[in-house]
Chain A
Amino acid sequence: MHSIILKTATRLMVGLILVFAVYLLLRGHHEPGGGFSAALVAGTGFALLAIAEGPGTVRAAIRLRSTTISLLGLGLAVAASLTALFTGQPLLTGIWWGAEAKPWIGTPILFDVGVFLAVLGAILSVLLALEEF
């Protein structure tokens, strides 16, 4: 699509959308957000980019292949699930690090990042395939 307005707006918007996605992802544990919604937001950002600049630009921007991103996400989620086994607890038990009362990072957050990457990879796969069809 050749539209100066769309292209210019996209340049401004994509970065904002992606930053917003990361913000949603990280705040998800306490406020509305989380891996799934963040992946959808990021996916929308890439969709905008793909419509304005073409799928080639998206491919160049993400560098990794979309399937690799999905696999990375699944791997991260599985790794987060398995961590508990090393401490002798059942699979998928949340392990937290940091202060006793207010820990700041734990496997559920890693798991959420895994969800984010897996879903984002899935969206990108379908998006790019449809755009290049």
Chain B
Amino acid sequence: MAITDNEADSRWCNRIGMLATIVPAVLFILWCVCWPEIVKGRVLVADIPWMPSFDLSLRFRLDGLSLLFGLIVTGIGTLVCIYSAAYLSGHRHCGRYFFYLLAFMLSMLGLVTADNLLLLFLFWEATTIFSYLLISFDHESPTARENGRQSLLITAAGGLALLLGILLLKGAGYSYVISSWTDLSEPVSGHPLYPYILGAILLGAMTKSAQIPFHFWLPNAMSAPTPISAFLHAATMVKAGIYLLMRCHPLLGDSHLWTVSLATIGGITAVWGAAQAIGPRDLKRVLAYTTMMALGILTLFLAGRSTAALTAAVTFLLVHALYKAALFLAVGSIDHQAGSRNLNEISGLRRTMPLTALAVGAAALSMSGFPLFFGFIGKEIMYAGALAEELIPLLAASTALVANSLMTAVAAVLAIGPFTGPFKAIRQQVVEAPWTMWLGPLLLGGLGILFGLIPGWVSRALVEPAVNAFHPNGEEVRLALFHGFNLPLVLSMLTLSFGIGAYLLRDRLHRVLIAPLTGLPFGAEKGYYGSLNRFMKGSGTLTEALQNGSLHFYLAVIIGALIVAVGWPLTGGVLGWVDFSSPLPDPAVLALLVFIAAAALVVVTARKRLAAIGGLGGIGGGVALLFLSYGAPDIALTQLMVETLTIIFVSLAMLRLPAIERSRLRPPRRRLGDGLLSLAAGTLLALLLMGIGRVSLDRSLTAFFEANSYLAAHGRNIVNVILVDFRSFDTLGEIIVVVLAAWAAVTLIRKPMEP
């Protein structure tokens, strides 16, 4: 990252950072004010109509689940803002950074409070876009740009799938309003569209929450500034998919398909992420893989239907948000102060950075599930939840056991590696980070202990309201520090001992088990690049074939397509409509037709450009007169003026070109081809128009406009009233297009000619 030592920049950055902090801090206080009411079971709803015709309203709802997510987003958001002011101190693009960060945070808040699926989708896409901007924030680095593009392509594609799922759900007859799902009489799982709805929504959730096989963008997203990784890729955005799964649980969660697919995907992601986390030397990459593991575990537990399993998911969500944000921020401090975050390049920082070391220690102990820490309670409830499942108790418990043991080992790597041993760092002088940078990690790490000591309060005030929001069956699962000597406790102890074992054997484990797997010639990421390359190559070939620079070719394609598209349906007997016995039009019209035909002949046979242009004008003028003779003065006027201007523009352009040379004329055979194509198109359109004349017109629209244009829109000219009143939305779009097209044309005209 381009850090400059400019004093002024640095002061400005601090000031804007502190200003930015106000936003999440105020929101956090606001959330806290609502908190007691929500815990009591009240729900706050705001409903403002937006586009009633699309069933889209600005409907926001604050219940237990939104409260929990909102507290995480605003609370960690506040700490991340404070942290960033110092972390980015002196960066040229500070303002941009805080703008993206706040915009992202507000979209995330919108996402977790939206009570309308379409509205949720809008915020969903907003988080995708701002996360793209944040991942490629260091935009001068090609890697950052590439990684940003990767995350954008994957999560935006998933977003499209989600939109499809939402529309299918609506098509199946269900409401967009999320809160109306909990009291449905029949679950969706019986509907024939259910598998498609589930598939599409799962795709959206899986890409956002980095589940296998879409996981690889998450480790690559680590090219974002570290506080961003802490916020987006640990505490908030990646959890959007999890949030969606929780919200959809009452509606979609009642089938074997749901349970099996979530359990499989989540289980594989959890184990694979945890296993991958042992290898890398870059601390941020380690953290990214553990995030993947956490997301897998959350998905795995959301597969379940018992209150215990869902409580485990919500509890672990909170546990993970606390320790992961603390660890990310601390790793950022290490990187900032010691000049590296590579395990090979740093060690023995405990004396020089004691507060950071303390924070990492607390967070890592919580992560490993050490007794007395909040992580321990999270793990207990996890095992209890796994064992309470009807369908998959053994699978869930053993997956959780493997993933948690590996996690314990990784926690040890994180806490021991950088801080113990002899002092080693890239910078000669390493000092503790400023208070703004140790405050966040220490506070979050401390909360991990505090919550561990008061599990009853956490469960009453945070976990239970959240679970009840999407699983309201009134069953209670209380968190407690000690549940008695039972199977979960045994499993917890097993986890710790396996974890210590895995830590001691980590190098061998990585060499023997993990390294061969990462070197495979195939894999999700290789598949991504392969298909991306093929797509690029394919579209390149297609573009070269279609955009070959010959205006002749373009016109031939357009006219050919017109003939096929219009002519194809006509082959099915529509020609029978055409009535050749209709009487001749009156002589004036006949004369006009002859004039138009003569003008067309002039265009085709002209040897000089000016003559051809004149012929074109003649055709246009003739057609305008035709309109006039059939009683459409508005269209005639417009046609005439468009024709005049076209002639002026075409002559201005054409007269600057060199004269037509005989030698450059197209060969006769190709001219014959052009002529046949034109004749075919003309004949087809003429037949079509004659056919249309035979069909009786639906006069209802005409009647409507005749009746309403003066009364409702105060205008007697129906054409104009349609343009500026009844269909003014179209007109608005059209004038925007006209202006944009003109600007584009100007740019092309002014562009210097390529030699």
What is A's interface to B at a CB cutoff of 8 Å? 24, 28-37, 40-41, 43-44, 47, 51, 67, 70-71, 73-74, 77-78, 81, 91-92, 94, 96, 102-103, 106, 108-109, 111-112, 114-115, 118-119, 121-123, 125-127, 129-131, 133
Instruction: Please determine whether B750 and A118 come into contact, CB atoms closer than 8 angstroms.
Output: no
Give residues of chain B (693-750) contacting chain A, Cβ–Cβ below 8 Å.
713-717, 719-721, 723-725, 728-729, 731-732, 735-736, 738-739, 741-743, 745-746, 749-750
Instruction: Please determine whether B724 and A122 come into contact, CB atoms closer than 8 angstroms.
Output: no
Instruction: Please determine whether A40 and B645 come into contact, CB atoms closer than 8 angstroms.
Output: yes
Instruction: Please determine whether B641 and A40 come into contact, CB atoms closer than 8 angstroms.
Output: yes
B538 at the interface (CB under 8 A from A): no
B683 at the interface (CB under 8 A from A): no
Distance (whole angstroms) from the CB of B745 to the closest CB of chain A = 5
Instruction: Please determine whether A130 and B653 come into contact, CB atoms closer than 8 angstroms.
Output: yes
4 other A-B residue contacts (CB within 8 Å) besides A43-B645, A73-B739, A96-B714? A33-B634, A108-B715, A111-B731, A130-B653
Given A31-B717, A37-B637: A47 in contact with B648 (beta carbons within 8 A): yes
Given A33-B720, A44-B641, A131-B652: A77 in contact with B715 (beta carbons within 8 A): no
Give residues of chain B (619-655) contacting chain A, Cβ–Cβ below 8 Å.
633-634, 637-638, 641-642, 644-645, 648-649, 652-653
What is B's interface to A at a CB cutoff of 8 Å? 633-634, 637-638, 641-642, 644-645, 648-649, 652-653, 656, 713-717, 719-721, 723-725, 728-729, 731-732, 735-736, 738-739, 741-743, 745-746, 749-750
* Residues of A close to B724: CB separation below 8 A: 29, 34-35, 108-109, 111-112, 115
A29 contacts which of B716, B728, B745, B749 (Cβ < 8 Å)? B716
B750 contacts which of A30, A51, A91, A129 (Cβ < 8 Å)? A129
Given A111-B728, A112-B724: A130 in contact with B649 (beta carbons within 8 A): yes
A34 contacts which of B649, B716, B719, B745 (Cβ < 8 Å)? B719
Closest 4 CB pairs of A and B: A40-B641, A122-B742, A29-B715, A30-B716
* Residues of B close to A111: CB separation below 8 A: 724, 728, 731-732
Nearest residue in A to B715 (C-beta to C-beta)? A29
Bound-state Cα–Cα, A28 to B709, Å: 13
Bound-state Cα–Cα, A37 to B637, Å: 7
Instruction: Please determine whether A36 and B728 come into contact, CB atoms closer than 8 angstroms.
Output: no
What are 6 contact pairs spanning A and B, CB under 8 A? Answer: A30-B717, A36-B723, A77-B732, A81-B732, A118-B736, A119-B738
* Residues of B close to A71: CB separation below 8 A: 739
Bound-state Cα–Cα, A21 to B353, Å: 77
Nearest residue in A to B644 (C-beta to C-beta)? A44
Nearest residue in A to B642 (C-beta to C-beta)? A40
A31 contacts which of B716, B728, B741 (Cβ < 8 Å)? B716
* Residues of A close to B648: CB separation below 8 A: 44, 47, 51, 127
Instruction: Please determine whether A94 and B713 come into contact, CB atoms closer than 8 angstroms.
Output: yes
B717 contacts which of A28, A109, A122 (Cβ < 8 Å)? A28
Nearest residue in B to A101 (C-beta to C-beta)? B714
Instruction: Please determine whether A122 and B728 come into contact, CB atoms closer than 8 angstroms.
Output: no
Counting chain A CB atoms within 10 Å of each CB, the highest count among B634, B653, B724, B745 belongs to B724
Bound-state Cα–Cα, A129 to B729, Å: 30
* Residues of B close to A103: CB separation below 8 A: 714
Distance (whole angstroms) from the CB of A65 to the closest CB of chain B = 11
Instruction: Please determine whether B738 and A118 come into contact, CB atoms closer than 8 angstroms.
Output: yes
* Residues of B close to A91: CB separation below 8 A: 729
A78 contacts which of B644, B720, B732 (Cβ < 8 Å)? B732
Distance (whole angstroms) from the CB of B716 to the closest CB of chain A = 4
* Residues of A close to B634: CB separation below 8 A: 32-34, 37
A108 contacts which of B652, B713, B719, B742 (Cβ < 8 Å)? B713
B637 contacts which of A33, A92, A102 (Cβ < 8 Å)? A33
Bound-state Cα–Cα, A122 to B735, Å: 9
Bound-state Cα–Cα, A44 to B637, Å: 13
Nearest residue in B to A98 (C-beta to C-beta)? B714
Instruction: Please determine whether A126 and B742 come into contact, CB atoms closer than 8 angstroms.
Output: yes
Distance (whole angstroms) from the CB of A99 to the closest CB of chain B = 11
* Residues of B close to A118: CB separation below 8 A: 735-736, 738-739
* Residues of A close to B714: CB separation below 8 A: 29, 94, 96, 102-103, 106, 108
Instruction: Please determine whether A121 and B725 come into contact, CB atoms closer than 8 angstroms.
Output: no
Given A108-B725, A130-B653, A131-B652: A115 in contact with B735 (beta carbons within 8 A): yes
Bound-state Cα–Cα, A71 to B739, Å: 8
Bound-state Cα–Cα, A106 to B184, Å: 48
Distance (whole angstroms) from the CB of A104 to the closest CB of chain B = 9
Nearest residue in B to A48 (C-beta to C-beta)? B648
Instruction: Please determine whether B745 and A133 come into contact, CB atoms closer than 8 angstroms.
Output: no
Nearest residue in A to B735 (C-beta to C-beta)? A118
Bound-state Cα–Cα, A74 to B733, Å: 10
A129 contacts which of B731, B732, B741, B749 (Cβ < 8 Å)? B749
Given A32-B717, A40-B642, A106-B714: A81 in contact with B728 (beta carbons within 8 A): yes
Bound-state Cα–Cα, A44 to B653, Å: 16
Instruction: Please determine whether A30 and B715 come into contact, CB atoms closer than 8 angstroms.
Output: yes
B649 contacts which of A24, A35, A126 (Cβ < 8 Å)? A126
Instruction: Please determine whether A92 and B741 come into contact, CB atoms closer than 8 angstroms.
Output: no
Instruction: Please determine whether B742 and A125 come into contact, CB atoms closer than 8 angstroms.
Output: yes
Nearest residue in A to B723 (C-beta to C-beta)? A34
Bound-state Cα–Cα, A41 to B640, Å: 10
Nearest residue in B to A128 (C-beta to C-beta)? B746
Nearest residue in A to B653 (C-beta to C-beta)? A130
Distance (whole angstroms) from the CB of A15 to the closest CB of chain B = 18
Counting chain A CB atoms within 10 Å of each CB, the highest count among B634, B653, B731, B750 belongs to B731
* Residues of B close to A96: CB separation below 8 A: 714
* Residues of B close to A31: CB separation below 8 A: 716-717
Instruction: Please determine whether B720 and A112 come into contact, CB atoms closer than 8 angstroms.
Output: yes
* Residues of A close to B719: CB separation below 8 A: 32, 34
Instruction: Please determine whether B739 and A28 come into contact, CB atoms closer than 8 angstroms.
Output: no
Distance (whole angstroms) from the CB of B636 to the closest CB of chain A = 8
Bound-state Cα–Cα, A96 to B656, Å: 49
Nearest residue in A to B713 (C-beta to C-beta)? A94
Distance (whole angstroms) from the CB of B484 to the closest CB of chain A = 62
A74 contacts which of B638, B736, B750 (Cβ < 8 Å)? B736
* Residues of A close to B633: CB separation below 8 A: 32
Counting chain B CB atoms within 10 Å of each CB, the highest count among A37, A47, A70 belongs to A37
Instruction: Please determine whether B732 and A32 come into contact, CB atoms closer than 8 angstroms.
Output: no
* Residues of B close to A109: CB separation below 8 A: 724
Distance (whole angstroms) from the CB of B699 to the closest CB of chain A = 22
* Residues of A close to B656: CB separation below 8 A: 133
Bound-state Cα–Cα, A119 to B637, Å: 16
Bound-state Cα–Cα, A102 to B716, Å: 12
* Residues of B close to A43: CB separation below 8 A: 641, 645
Instruction: Please determine whether B746 and A126 come into contact, CB atoms closer than 8 angstroms.
Output: yes
B749 contacts which of A24, A32, A44, A130 (Cβ < 8 Å)? A130
Nearest residue in B to A34 (C-beta to C-beta)? B720
* Residues of A close to B731: CB separation below 8 A: 77, 111, 115
* Residues of A close to B717: CB separation below 8 A: 28-34
B735 contacts which of A32, A108, A119, A125 (Cβ < 8 Å)? A119
* Residues of B close to A40: CB separation below 8 A: 638, 641-642, 644-645
* Residues of B close to A24: CB separation below 8 A: 637
Bound-state Cα–Cα, A78 to B724, Å: 12
